[in-house]
């Protein structure tokens, strides 16, 4: 049997039989209310109600309270206000015993400077956890995030996002398959198929795991790749680094790169292989270790440690010890000049080799050519110290001390002659990537996923008006 009640006082409860629910839902105002029974279940229908539920205030077009199971359904123009958030939705299923609400339609959750958008959200008013199973858009003062799924933990100021995760601000774009973020600590972890583009620093970073925080620390592992463009007033140079893991630190005016595990480097100035690499932007010094190999033009350098000193757009010097071995391929005869010593130090001018110093225990095998550019022998020498002087990359003078040397006339096997420790591996030399990594997903749209609810627009207008006062 259906019964209709009339209400005069806005805060009056509909029946004394609702005593058990009074501490949960309190009506502030409404246009009309009815109480009906369906299969023995009492249902209260409210039009244009305003009500409070503990610390929650809600308005909507129509609400149905299922009194025997502490459940409420609300439809149309819903706005929910609490001490910490404002929520808008088209549909609400609210389970008062669990403090759980199922929000559907055009759902917006605003918490401080963060606004969340979704079309299906499960929200717990006690734990302050919002679950977005069918897509989420997050906006704050720094940028926008998009994902197919998300869980937002307000109390911890953290979130987990999954499937096609995208992050965009004024200078950076990042994407991956899943993301964990703590906004208070400005710490995040991005997993699987990671892609980061930094337009302000002209850099790309890819891998299968990325970790970053507010200190400027960036750590990427599992097929890590870094592309960094350095520019000066005259030219720019691009560095490509491939490694098992790369750690980037950017503090004040100093940035460093620490790479490990099968590190490959290609730049217009040099390329290298090594187990580890360390670079400091202030000193412009690359430190390579773990049986590294470095190449500069037609020179290959091997040694336990190699130091590559840059000067803006050019290599300034190479140093290797102990037990360095360098091979230079002659541009005319294609024979291999060989240099070895406990320490090798090479300096460059305008990108060309200028001086090579070998000390102590230096050895040299240098092929010669006649005026026609044809091979005509080689010079082999051992000395405590050897200094070689070059012009335009060609040897013009040699200085040796207490040397033991000989001149080898041309013979059939001379071009294969090798000093102990000889190594020439042009097939291992890293090459410039033929193409750059690209984002997998379409750009984040500027538009929100739906037309904004009227009560949300009014709320934003009120905030804007207050700020202008």
Element (H, E) at 399: strand 394-401
152 near 139, Cβ under 8 Å?
no
Mean pLDDT, residues 352-370 taken together? 92
pLDDT value, residue 24: 61
Query: Is residue 183 very low, low, confident or very high in pLDDT (cuts 50, 70, 90)?
Result: confident
pLDDT value, residue 190: 97
Measured between alpha carbons, how far is 375 from 330 in angstroms, rounded to an integer?
10
Measured between alpha carbons, how far is 252 from 286 in angstroms, rounded to an integer?
20
Cβ-in-10-Å burial (0-12, 13-18, 19+) of 8 comes to: exposed
> Is 1.20.120.1770 the CATH number for 254-444?
no
User: Is residue 357's pLDDT more than 80?
Assistant: yes
Q: Is 157 helix (H, G, I), strand (E, B) or coil?
A: coil
State in Å, rounded, how far the first CA of the chain is from the last one: 55
Ramachandran region, residue 164 (left: φ > 0; alpha: ψ -120 to 50; beta: rest): left
With a pLDDT cut of 90, the percent of the chain lying above it is: 61
Query: Is residue 465 very low, low, confident or very high in pLDDT (cuts 50, 70, 90)?
Result: confident
Higher per-residue pLDDT: 86 or 71 = 86
305 near 290, Cβ under 8 Å?
no
State in words which class domain 1-97 has: mainly beta
Measured between alpha carbons, how far is 78 from 71 in angstroms, rounded to an integer?
16
Four-point Cα dihedral 287, 289, 292, 298, nearest 10: 20
Measured between alpha carbons, how far is 151 from 264 in angstroms, rounded to an integer?
38
pLDDT value, residue 255: 87
Q: Which residue has the tokens 């001086």?
A: 355
Letter string b/e over residues 272-305, b meaning 16 or more CB atoms within 10 A of that residue's CB: bbbbebbbebeeebbbbbeebbbbbbbbbbbbeb
C-alpha 68, offset from chain centre: 52
Q: What DSSP designation does 370 have?
A: -
Q: What DSSP designation does 443 have?
A: P
Q: What is the domain partition of the chain in residue ranges?
A: 1-97, 254-444
pTM for this prediction:
0.85
Q: Compute the mean pLDDT over every residue in the chain, rounded to the nearest whole number.
A: 87
Measured between alpha carbons, how far is 60 from 322 in angstroms, rounded to an integer?
79
Measured between alpha carbons, how far is 269 from 395 in angstroms, rounded to an integer?
20
Cβ-in-10-Å burial (0-12, 13-18, 19+) of 387 comes to: middle
pLDDT digits over 189-203, tens only?
999 999 999 887 789
pLDDT value, residue 214: 86
User: Is residue 19's pLDDT more than 60?
Assistant: no
Query: Is residue 313 very low, low, confident or very high in pLDDT (cuts 50, 70, 90)?
Result: low
User: Is residue 433's pLDDT more than 50?
Assistant: yes
User: Is residue 187's pLDDT more than 70?
Assistant: yes
Mean pLDDT, residues 94-106 taken together? 86
Handedness of CA 250, 187, 195, 442 (dihedral sign): negative
C-alpha 50, offset from chain centre: 46
User: Is residue 345's pLDDT more than 60?
Assistant: yes
Domains 1-97 and 254-444 share a fold: yes
How many CB atoms neighbour CB 118 within 10 A? 29
Task: Based on DSSP, count helices (H) and strands (E) in the chain, helices before strands.
Answer: 1, 36
Q: Which residues contact 357 (CB under 8 A, 6 or more apart)?
A: 343, 344, 345, 346, 385, 386, 387, 388
Token code pair at residue 55: 């610390």
């Amino acid at each position: 049997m259906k019964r209709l009640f009339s209400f005069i006082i806005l805060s009056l409860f509909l029946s004394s039989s609702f005593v058990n629910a009074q501490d949960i839902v309190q009506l502030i105002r409404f246009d009309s209310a009815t109480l009906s029974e369906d299969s023995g279940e009492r249902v209260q229908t409210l039009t244009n109600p305003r009500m409070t539920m503990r610390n929650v205030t809600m308005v909507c077009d129509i609400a149905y309270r299922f009194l025997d199971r502490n459940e409420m359904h609300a439809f149309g123009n819903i706005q929910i206000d609490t001490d910490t958030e404002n929520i808008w939705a088209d549909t609400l299923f609210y389970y008062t015993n669990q403090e759980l609400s199922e929000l559907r339609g055009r759902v917006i959750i605003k918490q401080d400077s963060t606004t969340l958008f979704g079309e299906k959200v499960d929200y717990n008013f006690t734990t302050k956890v919002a679950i977005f199973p069918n897509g989420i858009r997050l906006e704050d003062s720094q940028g926008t995030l998009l994902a197919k799924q998300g869980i937002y933990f307000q109390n911890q100021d953290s979130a987990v996002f999954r499937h096609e995760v995208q992050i965009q601000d004024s200078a950076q774009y990042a994407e991956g398959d899943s993301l964990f973020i703590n906004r208070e600590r400005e710490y995040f972890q991005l997993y699987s198929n990671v892609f980061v583009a930094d337009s302000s620093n002209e850099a790309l970073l890819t891998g299968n795991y990325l970790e970053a925080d507010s200190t400027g620390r960036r750590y990427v592992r599992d097929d890590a790749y870094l592309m960094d463009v350095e520019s000066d007033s005259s030219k720019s140079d691009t560095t490509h680094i491939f490694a098992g893991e790369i750690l980037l630190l950017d503090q004040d005016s100093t940035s460093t790169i620490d790479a490990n595990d099968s590190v490959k480097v290609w730049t217009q100035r040099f390329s290298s292989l090594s187990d580890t690499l360390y670079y400091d932007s202030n000193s412009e010094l690359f430190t390579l270790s773990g049986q590294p190999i470095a190449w500069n033009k037609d020179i290959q350098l091997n040694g336990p440690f190699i130091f590559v000193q840059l000067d803006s757009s050019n290599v300034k010097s190479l140093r290797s010890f102990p037990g360095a071995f360098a091979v230079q391929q002659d541009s005319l005869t294609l024979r291999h000049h060989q240099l070895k010593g406990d320490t090798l130090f090479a300096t460059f001018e305008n990108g060309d080799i200028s001086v090579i110093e070998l000390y102590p225990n230096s050895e040299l095998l240098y092929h010669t050519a006649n005026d026609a550019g044809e091979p005509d022998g080689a010079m082999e020498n051992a000395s405590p110290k050897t200094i070689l002087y070059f012009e335009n990359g060609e040897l013009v003078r040699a200085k040796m001390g207490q040397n033991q040397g000989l001149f080898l006339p041309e013979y059939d096997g001379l071009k294969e002659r090798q000093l102990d420790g000889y190594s020439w591996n042009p097939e291992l030399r890293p090459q410039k990537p033929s193409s750059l990594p690209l984002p997998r997903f379409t750009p984040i749209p500027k538009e929100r996923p739906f037309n904004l609810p009227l009560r949300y627009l009014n709320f934003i207008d009120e905030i804007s008006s207050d700020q202008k006062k």
